[in-house]
Every structure is written in C-alpha cells, then in structure tokens.
Structure 1
Amino acid sequence: MTRTDQALNRIRPDVRAMHAYAVQSAEGLLKMDAMENPFRLPPELQQALGERLGALALNRYPGGRSDELKAALGNYADMPAGCAMVLGNGSDELISLVTQACAQPWDSGAPRPVVLAPVPGFVMYALSAQLLGLDFVGVPLTENFELDLPAMLAAIARHRPALTHIAYPNNPTATLWSEAAVQAVVDAVAAVGGIALIDEAYQPFASRSWIDRMRAVPERSAHVLLMRTLSKFGLAGVRLGYLMGPAALVAEVDKLRPPYNVSVLNCEAALFALEHAEVFAGQAAELRAQRTLLVAALRAMPGVVRVWDSEANMVLVRVQDAVRTFAGMRERKVLIKNVSTMHPLLAQCLRLTVGSADENARMLAALQASL
C-alpha cells in the first residue's frame, strides 16, 4: 500500500464515495443553467467600481467595512427589530454554519439530529446534513410541487428536526408556497423546539417575502432564521450571503463563522451595489417581465408537456424526453439544466433560466428545434 493509499484510508468512507459538485462547462454556449442575472453593470458603474476596488488595502485583513455592509443590508432588507445578521461566502456557507451549529459531537453518544426539508429542493440542505453528521429527512411535495402540509406536519412531529429548511421560493420548482401552509410548518417546528431556516435566495423575483411575517408577528418567528443572497440580486460572482434572525440565535451561528470569511473585495463590491440598488431593481423588474413572456411562449410551444408558474428567475418545464432535449439544446449552443434525475417528481423536467429578451428568444428557438 502506497503512502497515498494509507492517507486516503483516513478520509471518511462516505466522503470518498461522493462526487464533487460539478459545474457544467459553458464555454462557447449561451449559459441558461444557473439562474444568473444576464445584465452587466453599465460602463460608468464598471469604471467607478474598478476605481474603488483598486484603492483597497489588499495587504490588510478585512476590518470594519463588514459591519458597514451588515448595516447597509439591514437597511436594504428593513431587518426587523431585535434581529442581528451574519455574513457568509454565499448562501452555501451559511447553510453549512447553521447545520454545524445543530450537530452533535461525533462521539457524544446522543442520537443524530435531524435536518428536514421538502423535496425536491436545494441540494445543499441534504449535503450539508450528510457532511456534518446529521440525518436528512426529505418530505415529497405534491405532484404540482405544492407543500404536502399533512405530510410535513407528520414528519416534523415524528422526527422532531433540529433544523427545517423552507425555500421561499423553491429551487428547482420556482414555486412560492402559500403563506398559511408555511406558517403552519413554522409553528410545528416551534412546537418541537427546532429552528426554521427560510431561504429567500430568489426574493428579488418573488411576490412576497417572509420578512413581513417576521415583522408582523415576531412572537411566532423567535425560532426563525431568514437567509438571502446577493447572487440573484445580480452579484453571483461576488459570493455574498446574509442571514437574519433573533440576535441570540444569530450569535451562536456567528461563533462558527471562519474569521475574515468575506473578503474586502466582496464586501466593497456589495456596498457599491447597494448604493446603486435602483439599477439592480430595474434589472429584476425586466426579468420578471421577461418571465411572463417566456412562460406564455413555453405554454404555446408544441411538444412541451407542462410549464409551472414561477416566482423566481427560472421556469420548470416537462418535456417528453428530457435527455434528448437537453442534448439537442447543447448541440445548438444553449446550456440549460436537466433536473430529471434529481427526484422522481421531476421526471422529464428541465429548468430554464430567465434571461434577457434576446437570450430567451435564442433559448426558445433551441428548445423548439430540440423537442
């Protein structure tokens, strides 16, 4: 046995059996697979941002600007009274930190805590649970991708999860579940002493936000953490997520945050974007308008079996042969996401990003030719 083999034996077997998260190569393709904002900054803002980033002291560790960013984000989101905020390197890091906070020491002998979420949903919920030694329980949605409220309530009562994820709207289905159903889940989580994590990654494109409920009935949200990201705001490359919730809960999560997890470049770019929030708000409005047109065009297209309503910057469609259609679109230089193998409910489903008018036209032409 080589030294490398001996060292590999020290790696957890479940980790060795995993596959790394794969990002599809988009070189030479129209990239419509990752719900990115298609609009770049106007040239004058590009220049202004470049000058600000160029003036930063890159030889120093991040300092007080992170606190200024939290204050700016709190003002932008109208963070409820009594709440605090922690920043993350995207939402992924924040999901991991909250999960880690709920984990038991490996050798404690205590039962493994449970993480619960509706499925299909964001893959990082289950992955973070697995990597940190928690059991994951997925509760299937209905065939129409609505919350199966009786099943959710029964699963919460049975498993008493330490952490329950609610994506609002959901990925990859783009559905925004009813406020009453989500409130019932949030209340059920409270009844078993758990934490509810509301993931609002797609908030710029949704018709409502859970933060309004947190502000209106704070006593029913004392166990709720609300997570957002600037990725869908228009800064996917900056990797900046933020988590809001009761100060006592956020303080515990913050203990696990690596020091200097948000670079001075990320921080300054985010502050700059918030100073020009109206530019990004205009882009989001344009994408919502394009989403309406895209959904209508998809529903009129022969060969598309079903199109679901969307409250995000993506649209889920069902076709007769997802593998063949995906391959055909790739041959025509358009990259989308084939989600058909993620969960049985997603059979023959494809996820399409909402882009600019030109991008959507090119995507629709490639889809029609590939069905």
Structure 2
Amino acid sequence: MLDVIRPDIQNLHAYAVQPSTGFIKLDVMENPHRLPPDLQAELGARLSAVALNRYPAERLDDLRAALARHAGLPEGCALMLGNGSDELISLLTQAIARPGAVVLAPQPSFVMYQLSCQLLGPRFVGVPCRAEDFALDRNALLDAIALHRPALLWLAYPNNPTGTLWDDEVIEALIAAMQHHGLVVMDEAYQPFAARDSLERLRRHPHVMVMRTMSKFGLAGVRIGYLMGRTELVAQVEKLRPPFNVSVLNAEAALFALEHEAVYAAQAAAIRAERERLFAALQALPGVTPFPSQANMVLARFPDAAATFAQLKARGILVKNVSAMHPLLHNCLRLTVGTPEENSALIKALQP
C-alpha cells in the first residue's frame, strides 16, 4: 500500500518533537510564563460557555478585528487567520505555485519555507547568510533575485534560529528588487521581543505582506497565526483558506488574551531582560560564541554542541541542537529564554 504514497514523501523525515516530561523545556521558543491563577479561572469560565456544537462563525470576525487593532493594521489592508503560521506559509506557497515558480529565502532560516516548497511544487532557492554574523548577504540575494525572478521572498524578522534582526537598508534594497517579480513576506513571529517591525513597509509597498503569530505572544498551544497585506492581495490568498480553520475554543482564548495584552506585554519585557542576562552569561563561557538576538532565544556556538546538548539533557534541561540544519550552524545550540529560575539552572549547568 505504500506505493500510493509519493516517493518524495516517503523520503521525508517527520518533524521531531522531543519528549519533555520532567525536563526544563528550553527547546522550542515558547513563552515560559502562564497566566496568573485568577485569569486562568476567568478564561476557564469563558471557554466553558463556548458553543462547541456550532462551527466558528462571527467570532472569527471578532478575532480578526481585535488582531487588526492590536497590530495597528494600516488603512487599505486586510488580515486573514491561519491555524498557526505554518498553515499560512503553506497557503502562500500554494497561491504562487505556478509551473516554474521559485521561492527564495536566506539560510539558515525557518525550515517550513523549504518544506512547503517540497510538498507543493515551487522550486526553493536558499541563499546563505554571512558566515561571521548571520547577516543578510546583500549582493548574493540581489543576484539571486535577478537570476531566479522569485514569486516569493521570505524574510524572517527576527530570524529563526539565529535571532537576527536584519539590516533595514538591505531589506529595503531587496523589497525594491522584488517589486517586479513577486511578494516579500516579512515573517514576524518574534515581533514581541524585537526593537523594530515592518508595518511601515506594509504601508509603503503593495507587494509586501507581514505574517505574525500568537504563539510567541504566549499562546503556543492555541495555534493562531495571521497574515496582513493589501486588501486585494489578502482576498486572493483567503480563497485557499480551509473553512473553519480556527476553532471556536482557539478564537475565544485568543480574544481573551488580547483583552489582557498588558499581562503578555509584561511577560515579553521580562523575557527580553532575561535574554540579555543569558547572553552575557554565554559570553563569559570559555570557547562559547553567542550571537546577538532580538527574539526569545539565543543561538550560541560551542566547542562540541553534541556533547553540551547531552550534558544539559543529563541535567534535565532540553535545548535544540541545530548543528545539522545548515553548514553555517556547525556546533550551534539554540537556547530558548525561560523563566529566571530556568535560565539560572541553564547557566549553572553550562559552567565548566
């Protein structure tokens, strides 16, 4: 029966999630903070009143409107919902997947850009970042745009797994080069932790879209992503969205969170402060090179990433070994910023 499955699918490896029970979990860039008990109880009461016998309907309109207010959606733009950012990546890839279409992205970056192309048909072209600092290679990217004429350029801002908030002047040059070829999508999954965003680019450029998620906001378990762009452009991608792709429970939880966004903003501020403490501690370790981050993780190169990963796991701490993701990530671990107590435990476990 396996013969009916596409050979390329059979050769893929499923996304692996490490078992985490009993561990300090610093491997998947989650917000480590839960809601205070009183808000947990209030949310539970809200969810218990949701009509689970009904398909999602007007409540999704309420969520779109609330997210538009939260993000500051520019005039002339629209917002569509996704079941996390992953679904939106697939829908955008599907939308541009004409014969010969090319998708371009710097590398290393989020693995779903390339995987969606493998599954849906466009040819993926990855352009390596600068080896010394994971910055965008301006000339290499401009050359790739001129050569391949991509229908879609992904720019994660900040980037995953490096945490890099790329140079604005380089991004503007890439947007200008793409205006006669296709779309530029700014993937702002880590926007709550970054010093800058791309909403002004959305206002100025009709071929720029901005994608965000509530996962890093603090709702990784709720699976809400959203895509912003010019109304006429979003309307075309919206045609591919499965009906009822966001559940009534997820929508209600997201609305509740937006009503208490000050709580999540305080959590993000605490994470940013802890990120700087973790970065400084990594800088002090002999032989370790951390890279500046504007996300809720820090990428660091170790003398032996596999040995350090095993050492941390033996001490009950899970991080992400990204060494095999791309040659530029050789001996690199990605460390999610946790609570102060979790970060202290990580720092202690890394001591020689």
TM-score scaled to structure 1, two decimals?
A: 0.93
Distance 2:349 2:29 in 1: 18
2-side partners of 1:11 and 1:296: how far apart?
Answer: 49
The Cα shift of 1:344 comes to 0.7
Q: Does 1:331 align with 2:314?
A: yes
Residue 277, structure 1, aligned to residue 254, structure 2? no
Q: Answer yes or no: is 1:148 the counterpart of 2:128.
A: no
Match of 2:226 in 1: 242
Q: Does 1:289 align with 2:278?
A: no
> Counterparts in 2 of 1:159-178, with a 5 A limit?
159-178=148-167
Could you tell me which of 117, 122, 130 is aligned with 1:129? 117
Distance between the aligned counterparts of 1:73 and 1:42, measured in 2? Answer: 22
CA contact (8 A) 2:187 2:212 kept: yes
Give the equivalent residue in structure 1 for 2:53: 59
- Counting only pairs closer than 5 Å after superposition, residues 86-235 of structure 1 correspond to structure 2 as 86-104=80-98, 110=99, 112-143=100-131, 144-192=133-181, 194-215=182-203, 218=204, 221-235=205-219
Per the alignment, in what secondary structure is the counterpart of residue 253 of structure 1?
helix
Q: Secondary structure at the match of 1:191?
A: coil
Question: Is 1:313 equivalent to 2:301 in the alignment?
Answer: no
Query: Is the Cα–Cα contact under 8 Å of residues 102 and 148 in structure 2 kept in the other structure?
Result: yes
C-alpha contact 2:201 2:208 (8 A) present in aligned 1? no
How far off is 1:9 after superposition? 1.2
Secondary structure of 1:170's counterpart equals coil
How far apart, in 2, do the equivalents of 1:53 and 1:207 lie?
A: 34
Q: Hey, what's the Cα distance between the residues in 2 that align with 1:9 and 1:301?
A: 52
How far 1:236 moved relative to its partner?
0.3
Deviation of 1:11 after TM superposition, in Å, equals: 1.1
Residue 9 of structure 1 aligns to a residue whose secondary structure is helix
Aligned-pair RMSD on alpha carbons? 0.8
| CA deviation profile, 1:228-273 (whole Å, cap 9, x unmatched) | 0000000000000000001111011100000000000000000000
Structure 1 residue 332 displacement after superposition: 0.7
Per-residue displacement from partner, 1:265-315 (whole Å, max 9, x unpaired)? 0000000000000000000001111111111111012232x1111100000
List runs of 5+ in structure 2 lacking aligned partners: none
Q: Provide the C-alpha distance between the structure 1 equivalents of 2:106 and 2:59, rounded to a whole number of angstroms.
A: 37
Q: Which runs of 4+ in 1 moved over 6 A?
A: none
C-alpha separation in 1, matches of 2:96 and 2:14? 24
Residue 348 in structure 1 maps to residue 331 in structure 2: yes
Q: Which runs of 5+ in 1 are unaligned?
A: 105-109
CA displacement at 1:213 relative to structure 2:
2.9
> For 1:323 and 1:55, how far apart are their aligned partners in 2?
48
Counterpart residue identity of residue 172, structure 2: Q
Alpha-carbon distance in structure 1 between the residues aligned to 2:200 and 2:271: 23
Tell me how far apart the structure 1 counterparts of residues 50 and 327 of structure 2 sit (CA, whole Å): 49
Q: 1:363 aligns with which of 318, 340, 346?
A: 346
The 2-side partners of 1:212 and 1:313 are apart by: 23
Which secondary structure state, in structure 1, belongs to the residue aligned with residue 243 of structure 2? coil
Structure 2 CA distance for aligned equivalents of residues 55 and 349 of structure 1: 46
**1:196 positional shift:** 0.7
CA contact (8 A) 2:136 2:170 kept: yes
Match of 1:107 in 2: none
TM-score, normalisation: structure 2: 0.98
User: How many Å separate the matches in 2 of 1:365 and 1:33?
Assistant: 17
What is the aligned-residue identity percentage?
61
Alignment: residue pair count: 351
Matched residue, 2:78: 84
SS state at 1:291 partner? helix
What CA distance in whole angstroms lies between the structure 2 residues aligned with 1:367 and 1:301?
A: 8
Q: CA deviation at 1:340?
A: 0.7
Q: Secondary structure at the match of 1:226?
A: strand
* Partner amino acid, structure 1, of 2:41: Q
Structure 2 Cα separation of the partners of residues 225 and 209 of structure 1:
12
2:30 aligned partner:
36
AA aligned to 1:13 is P
